[in-house]
Amino acid sequence: MKLMRILPFARSLIDLAVKEGDIAVDATVGNGHDTLYLAERVGKKGHVFGFDIQSEAIENTAKRLQEHGMLEQVTLFQASHDKLIEKISAHYHGRITGAIFNLGYLPGGDKQIVTKPESTIRAIEQLLHILAPEGIIVLVVYHGHPEGAIERDALLEYVQTLDQKQAHVLRYEFINQINHPPFIIAIEKR
C-alpha cells in the first residue's frame, strides 16, 4: 500500500515540525515509544517534556529512555497534560515546535484509565498558547472503545471551531476500514 498508514503519517508530521535542538511535548507518554522518537529527533541540544497520570507509564517510559541513553534530554511529569502550561517553565513557552497525543488507554495497562475530552481539550488550548508559530499538535484518536467515541466527538466539535486565522486543522483517516481504526487530527499554529 502506497498511502501512508496512520502511525507513519503521525511521525511524518512530527518530522516536519520538530528538528534537532527543538523543544517538544509528549502529552501521553504511555510506554514511551513516541517520547523516545521525539528525544531522538531533538537530540542532546533539545528537550522533550512528557506527561502521564499513571506511575506505571512514567516508569516504563523512563526505562525505555534510559536503555537508549536518552533520559537526559527528557523531563517526565506524572501529571495530567492539562497542567502543562504550569509544569513547563515559561522559559520554553513560544519555543515548542511539536506535540503528540496518543489518546485512549495504556497498552498492557488498566483499560479503565483513559484520556478524557475535557482535559485533552484544555491541554490543546494551553499548547496553542505556548507553541512556536508553525508548531504542530498531532492527535492519534483511538475511538474503538466507548469512551473513545465520546472523546472523538467532543474533539472534532472543538477543533472545527478553531479560528482558521489561529490554526490549520487537518483530519487524516481511512474511511472504509472496519473496527474503528485510529485517525489523526493535526493542528498547526499560525
Ligand X SMILES: C[S@@+](CC[C@H](N)C(=O)[O-])C[C@H]1O[C@@H](n2cnc3c(N)ncnc32)[C@H](O)[C@@H]1O
Binding site residues, ligand X, CB under 6 A: 28, 30-34, 51-54, 57, 80-81, 102, 104-107, 113, 115, 119
Q: Which is nearer to ligand X, 88 or 134 (CB)?
A: 88
Is residue 79 a contact partner of residue 87, using CB atoms and an 8 Å limit?
Answer: yes
What's the min distance (Å) between Cβ of 136 and ligand X?
16
Between helices 33-42 and 6-17, what is the axis angle to 10°? 30
CA-based max dimension of the chain: 45
How many CB atoms are located within 10 Å of the residue 41 CB? 21
Q: Which is nearer to ligand X, 15 or 134 (CB)?
A: 15
What's the min distance (Å) between Cβ of 165 and ligand X?
29
Q: Which is nearer to ligand X, 22 or 52 (CB)?
A: 52
What's the min distance (Å) between Cβ of 105 and ligand X?
6
The CA distance from 113 to 41, in Å, is 29
What's the min distance (Å) between Cβ of 48 and ligand X?
12
Q: How far is CA 159 from CA 84, 165, 166, in A?
A: 19, 13, 11
Q: Which residue minimizes CB distance to ligand X? A: 30
